[in-house]
Amino acid sequence: KSDKVSIAQNAIFELQDKLVLKELENATLYYNLGTYMGNNYQSAVIVAKNAIKDYPYSKYKEQLEMLVLKSRYQEALQSTDERKEDRFRDVIDEYYSFINDFPESNNRHEADNIFKIASKHVKNWCLNMAYCPSPEAPTNKKLTNKFYINNIILFDKANGL
């Protein structure tokens, strides 16, 4: 192989990092715009998720995922009462995605705070699940005889369903 192959590959990686940084800056801009002239939080989520999909091994992936979590949280806070609970459920889903990918993140404390606030807004979110996934509680703690996924009863020991 030629020496120029490695030089070309390094140049490609550097240019991809620049593209991801541009996407991160675009998503951050949407986040900072907030609700000015529409729902820019949703735009921030779309831009960040597309960047993660297009460049899954980027050095900016953690920042992009944190931005998705924060955007979902802000969107949930400003939602109507009818949509609030579902949107806070999305925040909880994004939180678990973030901590699964980056358990030792420098942003872990902020993510945990977002999770705690989101879980307070979702009515009985933990009681509607077979197991209570919480940073403080063991994930195998059984809370009910009913087993739910997405609020659909899969099994009810009391009624034999």
- Convert the pLDDT of each residue in 83-102 to its tens digit: 999 999 999 999 999 999 99
- On whether the CB atoms of residues 112 and 129 are closer than 8 A, the answer is no
Closest CA to 31 of 52, 18, 47: 47
Helix (H, G, I), strand (E, B) or coil at 76: helix
Residue with tokens 């990918």: 101
pLDDT band at 42 (very low <50, low <70, confident <90, very high): very high
Specify the amino acid at residue 28.
T
Which sign, positive or negative, has the C-alpha torsion 95, 154, 84, 143?
negative
Predicted model pTM: 0.74
Q: What is the pLDDT of residues 6-27, one digit of tens each?
A: 999 999 999 999 999 999 999 9
For 109-137, write each residue's pLDDT tens digit.
999 999 999 998 886 555 545 444 544 43
Q: How confident is the model at residue 107 (pLDDT cuts 50, 70, 90)?
A: very high
Of the listed ranges 70-79, 109-118, 143-152, the least confidently predicted one is 143-152
The pLDDT value recorded for residue 144 is: 45
Arithmetic mean of pLDDT, 33-61: 93
Does residue 45 have a pLDDT over 90?
yes
- Residue 23's pLDDT is 97
Mean of the per-residue pLDDT values of the chain: 82
Q: What is the residue whose two structure tokens read 């996407």?
A: 23
